[in-house]
Amino acid sequence: MQPEKDFRLTRQRQIILEEMRRMRPHPNACELYDAVKSRLPHISLATVYRNLEILSEKGFVRKIITSGRQKRFDINAGAHYHAHCILCGTIVDIPVATEVMRVLPEKPDGLENFRVMETRVEFFGHCGACRSIGTTAEDEDSRRGPVRCSPAE
C-alpha cells in the first residue's frame, strides 16, 4: 500500500457526498455527475470517477457489486444487503436481520486463512412492481437499465 496521501475536503467532494445523500440510492457515476453538475456546472466526469474511487477507499461510500457494465455506488449507511430486481434493475436496501448476522461464518468453511472484512448478501428476483405489471412493465420511474450521462449542451 501507498504511503497514504492526505485527504482534502474540496468543494467537489462535499457536494458529491451531499448529493449522494439527497438523491435516490445507488446512483451510477453518470447519474451522480448529472446531479452534481446542477450545482457545479464545470465539474468533470473524471473528477466524479476519481472521487468515487477515493471516497470508497476512505470508507465514505462503497461500490455495489453487480453483474452489469456500470458501477453503482452507495453512501455508507451501516450494514445492509441488497435486493436486485432482475427485470427492471432496481436495487433496494434490506436491513440486516440479526439472526442472519449471527449465523454467517466469520471464517468461511474450508478457508481457514481467509480474513473476512466484509460479508454481503444479495437477493435476486422479481420486485413487486414487475410482478404486478407482468413482464412488459413500463413504470418508468421505478426501473432502471443502463443510464447515460445527459449530453453536453
Partner DNA sequence: TTTCCTGCAAAAGGTTTGCATGAGC
Partner DNA sequence: GCTCATGCAAACCTTTTGCAGGAAA
- Which residues make up the interface to DNA (CB under 7 A)? 5-13, 28-30, 40, 42-47, 49-51, 53-54, 69-71, 146-149
CB of 151 to its own copies, least distance (A): 24
Task: State the pairing for strand pair 91-95/80-85.
Answer: antiparallel
Residue (of 58, 74, 68) closest to 24 by Cα position: 74
Query: CB 107: neighbour CB atoms within 10 A?
Result: 11
Pick 30 or 133: Cβ nearer DNA: 30
C-alpha cell recorded at residue 136: 412488459
CB of 9 to DNA, least distance (A): 4
CB of 41 to its own copies, least distance (A): 29
Residue 138 binding partner per list its own copies, DNA, none, with a CB distance cut-off of 5 to 8 Å that depends on partner kind: none
Question: What is residue 108's three-state secondary structure?
Answer: coil
31: left (phi over 0), alpha (psi -120 to 50) or beta: alpha
Q: Which residues contribute to the site for its own copies (CB under 8 A)?
A: 1, 63-67, 71, 81, 83, 85-86, 92, 94-95, 97, 99-100, 103-105, 108-128, 131-132, 135
